Amino acid sequence: MRLLIEGNIKEFNSWRMKHLTVKPDFTGKDLSGKNISGAFLNGVVADNASFARANVAGANFVQASLNGANFEGADMTEALLMYAEMKEARLAGANLEKANMMWANLRGADLTGSRISKTVLVQADLQGAKVTPADKAGAYLKYALLEDMAWFG
């Protein structure tokens, strides 16, 4: 955690590659405004953590638990979020361009005003999600679960 807070991504990723079976626990931690782009955060537990206005572009959150996490205003360009658990996550105003969210569980998530241009949401669970994106051109939604989803705009 210290390495991420200090922005030492290269060192964190080196540690992560040597400890792939470890599931770092960032539950409730505040990483707001931090630059953690490109970080290997696959498999982490970060429920109710805050990544508000953070730069997580290109970060790997594959199979991460991010339920209730706050990504409001975050740069998530090209982030990997496949199989991520993101129920009730707050993604309002986030830039999700070219992010890969295949099979992500986004039930009840708030994506109001987010940019999802060229975002991959194939087989994502968006049931009950609020999706009022400013830019949704080219979002890939094949086989996504969209029941009770509010898609406006």
CA distance 148 to 41: 30
Q: Write the CB contacts of 2 (distance below 8 Å, at least 6 apart in sequence).
A: none
pLDDT reading at 135 higher than 70: no
Instruction: Tell me the pLDDT tens digit for each residue of 53-96.
Output: 999 999 999 999 999 999 999 999 999 999 999 999 999 999 99
pTM of the model: 0.92
More confident residue, 49 or 145: 49
Q: What is the distance between the alpha carbons of residues 34 and 37, in angstroms, rounded to a whole number?
A: 9
- Give yes or no for residue 134 having a pLDDT over 60: no
State yes or no: pLDDT of 123 exceeds 70.
yes
For the segment(s) 1-153, the CATH number from 3.40.630.40, 2.60.120.620, 3.50.50.60, 2.160.20.80 is 2.160.20.80
Q: What is the mean pLDDT of residues 22-26?
A: 94
Q: Where are the domains of the chain?
A: 1-153
Q: Of 1-5, 29-33, 53-57, which gets the smallest average pLDDT?
A: 1-5
Please give the C-alpha separations between residue 56 and each of 47, 98, 115, 135, 143, in angstroms, as whole numbers: 16, 13, 15, 19, 27
